[in-house]
Amino acid sequence: MTRLKLAILISGRGSNMEALLQAAEDPGYPAQPVLVASNRPDAKGLETAASAGIATAFVDHKLYGKDREAFERALDAILEEAGTEIIALAGFMRVLTPWFVDKWAGRMINIHPSLLPKYKGLHTHQRAIDAGDAEGGCSVHWVSAGVDDGEVIAQARVPIQPGDTEETLAARVLVEEHKLYPQALAMACQRLLATKPD
């Protein structure tokens, strides 16, 4: 079967990345990880990926100052070198320029810890608690020009319990993220494969 060459972009812990790598250990999974890359040289997830035998790289965004596109061009060169066909952002904490988003349009997905379109951006769990919402959750979506915008592929819902804090809710949502992301990435791959020219 055809497997799309997958690059995962991270900035830190990389627990979602790990969930994707585990799913892709199944030879029937429609994505084959070829690269895990970070904008932070010290991202913990880089070590996890290397231990799993996956190629790793970093492009330190701090070396590029305010020039986001120059940072992205360096990252893009590494992605191309690896033969990347689909990108999964997994806790990648850089806002992307229209140049990068356009280049990878329809081939890049993200996981966000809220029930989009609610709570784009940061502090999603606290905002859900403060609003008195009955549930929180997570969403996997195609990446488009706006931050945490773009068509939702799949979501998982988590009830908010009395006494929940940002931390307790985040921990329960994270468990669901690790189940949702591999499923949603597989759905994204199926869609891409269905439209891919031979």
Q: So which residues are the catalytic ones?
A: 112
Residue placing its CB nearer to ligand GRF in the complex, 14 or 30: 14
* Residue 23 contacts ligand GRF per CB under 6 A: no
Residue nearest ligand GRF, CB atom distance: 91
Does residue number 24 form part of the binding site for ligand GRF (CB under 6 A)? no
**Cα–Cα distance for residue pair 52/68, rounded to 1 Å:** 30
Is residue 48 at the binding interface for ligand GRF, with CB under 6 A as the rule? no
Q: Please pick, from the candidates 33, 85, 88, 91, the single residue that binds ligand GRF as defined by CB under 6 A.
A: 91
Binding residue for ligand GRF (CB under 6 A) from 177, 180, 186, 189?
Answer: 177
Binding to ligand GRF (CB under 6 A) within 99-158 occurs at 111-113, 138
Quick one: which of 31, 34, 90, 154 contacts ligand GRF (CB under 6 A)? 90
Q: Using the minimum distance from each CB to ligand GRF, give the nearer residue, 10 or 189.
A: 10
Which residue's CB is nearer to ligand GRF, number 10 or number 96? 10
Angle in degrees, CA 4, 88, 159, rounded to 5: 125
Residue 61 interacting with ligand GRF (CB under 6 A): no
Q: Report the candidate in 145, 79, 137, 141 with the shortest Cα–Cα distance to residue 110.
A: 141
Residue closer to ligand GRF by CB (options 57, 81) is 57
Instruction: Give the residues lining the site for ligand GRF (CB under 6 A).
Output: 10, 12-17, 90-91, 111-113, 138, 174, 177
